[in-house]
Structure 1
Amino acid sequence: MPTHPHIGLPFSSQEEIQSAQSNHIGRIPALDALSANIQPEVDDANNNATAISSLPEEILAIVFEIGHTDFPAERLKDLFEISVSHVSRRWREVALRTPRIWSKIRRVKHQNRLDSIAAYLQRSKVVALDLRIEIGHGVNGLHEDIIPFCRLLSPHCGRCRHLSVTSSAQRNLIKLLECISSVAAPFLQSIDISLSLEGRVFDITNPRQIFAGGAPSLNSIRLRGLALHCYLPPLDSVTNLHLDEVDYRMFTKVDELRKVLLAMTALTHLVVEGEVVDDWPSDIIIELPRLQSLLIRANNDQDIADQILGLLKAISAPALEVLSLQNICDIDFELAINPDALGQTKFPSLRSLTLRDVGLSRPHMSMIARAFPSITHLTHSLHDIEKIVNLLTLLQDVDVHSRSRVKYWPHLHTLALPCASDDETASIHEFVAWRHSTGHPIQRLLLPLHVLSDTSALHEWMDDLRVYVQVEVYTDDSSQYFPTWADNK
């Protein structure tokens, strides 16, 4: 029999080996498929062997609900509810029977496939929904079609608890808001609507309503780029209002602003960033009897921030305790002549004042001090050595007509300087010692961590300083006075 020249095997044996190899190779795809079919059962067996597999379904569902709350995800593929439903067959069955973990629904820009949203709406059954909706720019001059999403969402709008809408197209935003115009929303707690600058294409002249069927639990509204009067929900239960960067073409008349604010009988926290009306007459009065905190901020693109003086002169708030003025300069106070018109008589309960990024000269700082004389807590946040030193110098002015000697803020007992540096240590020490000598000591001094470190120039003063005052690390606690959308989610 002929043999192979290299290995010496008969040719027939060689052919048998090759044939056997071919048979085995041909069976590999079938074996792979069998392995793939068996693997889920193997995974289930492994998972069932763990301690958690013995948990009753009710306990496992509670674990899922807690995890869904504690582990939010920005990327869709990292969503908690998706992850747990892929662990095992049992976990998936429990997840699908746990409506609360499917209650956060997000629509991303240019999303045309709505299968996943429909699944979430179905799986969440009747529980309250947190809706996060993004509307993008048009493509090739055509706006994205939001109507199919509106139709899908419409039967479920009444379950909405938190509504967040970010839009780059005003027309589609209007279509979405019209979808919820007459809805009753008994669970609704917060509304956050943002319209980008490039998405604003025309004026909205006729005030309209959303959730006209009622929203008795609504407590928080944030509008960015959209005028207050454009789409109004029920207002009588709202406690927090945040107005931000209203487009000049949508400016609310001050009478309309007054009417809306007066309708908010429960309003306790108000934030205004940028201009909100086209003109501020000097005789307008807006009485907000329950307002406790007020934040007014100028935007960087404003030549003159008229809303600073406009709101301070217009608002009368006997319960106001916290005032924050941000990003303002001298020109914003040029027309302020009478300090009494700013707040001494209108804000009798005011005790806490925050000046953040406020670059005011001595005359305007002294005017603020005279306007709000009962301040006990002062926060001055500005990365400017000269301004900080000037503030400390101003606060050492002597009142020759008063027994207290302290001219400005004689009741001040807490001073926070979150932007202080080593360069102001001598001025800080001098101010604290002077206040102590007048009989009006500063009781708490809040400074940034780096200033209180062992390597800081203030460290050598620390023992002397602590004779007069309790020194603490500054932490920003503004969120307790000015709640945000993130706090409500």
Structure 2
Amino acid sequence: MHCISYPALEELKSTVISLDPSSSYADVLAQFQLVEVALARAKLERAAVENRLIPIASLPHEILSHIFKTHRDLHFDFDPWADRIAPTIRVSHVSAKWRDIALSTASLWTEVSSFPQYTNEFYHTVMHRSREAPLKLTIGVREPRDTHSASLLAEFIPSQTHRLLALEIRAPMDFIDDHMPALRELSAPRMTWLYLCNTTPEVDTGGSPPPPQRIFMGGVQSLSHYNAFGFDPRIWPPLSSIEVLKIDYRDAAARTTHLVLREAALTVYRLYIHLTPRVSSTFPAIKMPSLEYINIAALLSETVMFLEVIEAPLLKSLSLLLHRPGRSIPTFHVHDTTVGKYPGLRTLQLQGALGSNILPNFPTIRGLLIVDLPHCLAQLGDIFDRNQEAFSTLTPRLSRITAPERFKESIEAFSAARRSLGLRVPRYFCCE
């Protein structure tokens, strides 16, 4: 049988045995000091052993509850479709004590996702266990068998909006459209996050677009994030407090896109927008006084169009993902007055097929970031060509360029040309 040793205890025993009562008073004091040191070490050793032997089941309620939450969250990282209730259910089946703790911890039951195996009775049970804690609902339809359970969970929304913190629906557009009317007059005072994603992107058939639908018109005073992916923004809640807005811009719904952007204009500070081909501007410029970041994914011509209708005096960073329309790459040129709409622009991020003559449009930038995407390598065009128009006055404040290693030679030649003209030479940083 394996024998466990306790060296500190052995040291204490040896020290006590070696005590000599016939020693002088000074020697006895020195021996007592050795005993005290050995005793302290033995106590630390005993505490360490006891800590190793304490079973997890005997930990305090609060610590176990925290462990259960961490266990649940580990199953969700990087997977938006993950079931965040399943880990809690497994924990509650381990022992009577763990079940009591799980059932008494309302926050373990507040993040509910739809799955085919979950019934109406199951959702009722989970809602009861979460009591009045803030609620996050994720409704997903990836295949037809998901629809029934997803619809059951969607039916709980009207009765739970008073404590709804986040609502996420990932489903075909037909499913989303069918469940929006029930949300029209609702109030969700605590909701901060609303995410609608069409998993079967719409195809432009040339017909009339579906009518706009307003939702949560009873009020969403705390809503800071609204994402609408895979469809035009014809469905939207009140946006007077929105901070982060992610939408698609389609030509058939240009009017509703304008309404959405204008409604969010005062408070939005991060804007992500995807423009479909052939979209055109049909509205005057919109001033966004709080906007600090724009991310645009579009063809070059549509990107230019959008930049000409947004005025953002506090804009610091602009990210462009430029799709290639064909073999040729057109010239990137925005109207001179547009440049003045972004006087605070400091960082330009470029991805995709970069048109020629880009840098002259952004004279205030100090940082340039070029990024390769796995499915879309950056194509530079003439961005670093010393023979391009007005090279001697190009981006006078540019101080850093971050780009993949394959562009190093072009960047070094660009920097050398700037140095020869007495221009500021940017530092190069490699990113892969």
TM interval, short-chain normalised: 0.7 to 0.9
Deviation sequence 1:44-88 (CA, Å, 0-9, x none): xxxxx7343332223322333344345427554994312322332
1:72–1:306 Cα change, 3 Å: same
Q: TM-score, normalised by structure 1?
A: 0.66
Query: Is 1:321 matched up with 2:316?
Result: yes
After TM superposition, the structure 1 stretch with the greater mean CA deviation from structure 2, 313-322 or 331-340, is: 331-340
| Counterpart position of 2:369 | 379
| Counterpart position of 1:32 | none
| Counterpart position of 2:224 | 219
| Counterpart position of 1:96 | 103
- Output the CA distance in 2 between the equivalents of 1:330 and 1:195: 25
1:192 is aligned with what amino acid?
Y
Query: Is 1:195 matched up with 2:180?
Result: no
1:98–1:199 Cα change, 3 Å: farther
Query: Is 1:445 matched up with 2:428?
Result: yes
Deviation sequence 1:159-207 (CA, Å, 0-9, x none): 221211111251x322322232222212211111112336779966433
Aligned length: 371
1:338–1:181 Cα change, 3 Å: closer
- Output the CA distance in 1 between the equivalents of 2:269 and 2:84: 39
| Offset, 1:258 | 2.7
Q: What CA RMSD, in Å, does the superposition of the two structures yield over aligned residues?
A: 3.5
1:77–1:56 Cα change, 3 Å: closer
**Of 104, 125, 130, which aligns to 1:119?**
125
| Counterpart position of 2:43 | none
- Output the CA distance in 1 between the equivalents of 2:187 and 2:399: 48
- Output the CA distance in 1 between the equivalents of 2:238 and 2:217: 7
- Output the CA distance in 2 between the equivalents of 1:138 and 1:71: 25
Q: Do the aligned residues in 2 keep the contact of 1:136 with 1:167 (CA within 8 Å)?
A: yes
Specify every segment of 5 or more residues in structure 2 that has no aligned partner in the other structure, as ranges.
Answer: 1-52
**Of 172, 175, 178, which aligns to 1:175?**
178
Q: Do the aligned residues in 2 keep the contact of 1:224 with 1:245 (CA within 8 Å)?
A: no
| Counterpart position of 1:60 | 64
1:292–1:97 Cα change, 3 Å: same
2:342 is aligned with what amino acid?
F
Q: Do the aligned residues in 2 keep the contact of 1:223 with 1:243 (CA within 8 Å)?
A: yes
Q: What are the within-5 Å matches in structure 2 for residues 32-47 of structure 1?
A: none
* Identity in percent: 22
- Output the CA distance in 1 between the equivalents of 2:189 and 2:109: 19
Q: Do the aligned residues in 1 keep the contact of 2:352 with 2:372 (CA within 8 Å)?
A: yes
| Counterpart position of 1:369 | 359
Query: Is 1:295 matched up with 2:295?
Result: yes
Q: What are the within-5 Å matches in structure 2 for residues 157-172 of structure 1?
A: 157-170=161-174, 172=175
Query: Is 1:135 matched up with 2:141?
Result: yes
Q: Do the aligned residues in 2 keep the contact of 1:309 with 1:333 (CA within 8 Å)?
A: no
| Counterpart position of 1:210 | 215
- Output the CA distance in 2 between the equivalents of 1:215 and 1:445: 45
| Counterpart position of 2:396 | 410
1:206–1:288 Cα change, 3 Å: same
Deviation sequence 1:434-476 (CA, Å, 0-9, x none): 4455554445422135xxxxxxxxxxxxxxxxxxxxxxxxxxx
| Counterpart position of 1:45 | none
After TM superposition, the structure 1 stretch with the greater mean CA deviation from structure 2, 370-379 or 150-159, is: 150-159
Q: TM-score, normalised by structure 2?
A: 0.74
Deviation sequence 1:6-57 (CA, Å, 0-9, x none): xxxxxxxxxxxxxxxxxxxxxxxxxxxxxxxxxxxxxxxxxxx734333222
- Output the CA distance in 1 between the equivalents of 2:324 and 2:229: 23
| Counterpart position of 2:9 | none
Q: Do the aligned residues in 1 keep the contact of 2:415 with 2:426 (CA within 8 Å)?
A: no
| Counterpart position of 1:40 | none
SS at match of 2:271: strand
Deviation sequence 1:189-239 (CA, Å, 0-9, x none): 1111112336779966433221122111111111113322x2221101101
| Offset, 1:318 | 0.8
Specify every segment of 5 or more residues in structure 1 that has no aligned partner in the other structure, as ranges.
Answer: 1-48, 299-303, 400-404, 450-489
1:428–1:54 Cα change, 3 Å: same
| Offset, 1:278 | 5.1
SS at match of 1:117: helix
- Output the CA distance in 1 between the equivalents of 2:92 and 2:396: 62
SS at match of 2:155: helix
| Counterpart position of 2:276 | 275
| Counterpart position of 2:41 | none
